[in-house]
Amino acid sequence: MYERVFGTDWRTISDEEAIRRMYALGVSSALGHPNRGEFERIRRQAATAYGRSVLQLAFEEGKQRVARNRAEYDSKQDVWEALVDEQTTPATTGRADVGMQKPTDRQGVPKAIGRVEVLDGRSDDFSRIRLPEFLRRG
């Protein structure tokens, strides 16, 4: 599944691409088509322990999505198509990015491993860190 859609003839990939591919590898692995060599190859692209842990989370998210959604579909191929959007992969469009249908942000990164929105607060918005009115002493 994974090899047919993504291919394995890359030399280097971006962080976002690595996350997308790890998610797809998790889906593929949960469907009975593990690719340990590609998993390790992508994992080596991460320069830090943090990067490797993010990639591991993407892989685990793919596996968990299959576990949660498998009963909704008749075949493994149907699960794959529902969780990994083959229409925007390099094999079909020649683009370097890979989109995933469920659930992703604008860049196609699974929301479970994307940036937390609360960290994107404005610097002049102190209301988020102030005590609520009912906790203040009168």
Q: Residues 93, 112: contact at Cβ < 8 Å?
A: no
Average pLDDT, the chain: 76
What is the Cα Rg of the chain in Å?
18
Residues 6 or more apart from 15 whose CB is under 8 A from it? 45, 46, 51
Give the three-class secondary structure for 68. helix
Q: Which pLDDT tens digit goes with each residue over 73-84?
A: 888 888 888 888
Give the three-class secondary structure for 138. coil
Percent of the chain with pLDDT over 70: 67
Q: Please state the rounded mean pLDDT for residues 111-122.
A: 58
Residue-range domain boundaries for the chain: 2-135
Q: Which pLDDT tens digit goes with each residue over 14-42?
A: 888 999 999 999 999 999 999 999 999 99
